[in-house]
Structure 1
């Protein structure tokens, strides 16, 4: 039987820092700065994302998904990449857009909080 903590871990979006580590030439301080910048910009993007969702502004949501995708691809965060791609390419039926957006928001927030915690970025 799995514990609550194990179930929560299973729901966490997986990611890797290998591409970022290579880009930073394995320099830990550079990686920390890149991750910090990612966290800060992603938190701002999520605020915008929520505003666009509330305003039913599908074009702005698609534009923001386009802006957010490259870093999530670098992180290989597939649970975020797939819905962002659908949104960017406007492959989401109007009736499904709210659910897709809520999935994106939830997965991104979990991932950002995990990165903050795992890499001590909140200090």
Structure 2
């Protein structure tokens, strides 16, 4: 099972932009539920986001200090999208994240063998 870890917002590195209209929906869902249920999926060696850019930006806007993250290794994850006709690989994605040159929203697609959920009250993430 993949490790779940509460991570500081400042530790997490995005690789993609987000869609503002989608962000509004995610924030509303989080506020209404009053709990965080879907961890952000993070590459465990670099802290780049594999999945969860909208949840990450939502946490920032909600001024949360921490978010639950599920840590993965690229050896257990498949990348299934391409960008500008080039098939993406883990090195491309890591390089983009570390450089701060974000891909457009929804450019990368990671497929995970195992997904986990959590149930953490928002007040514990402040």
Give the alignment's TM-score, normalised by structure 2.
0.28
Higher helix content, 1 or 2? 1
More strand by share: 2
TM-score normalised to structure 1 length = 0.28
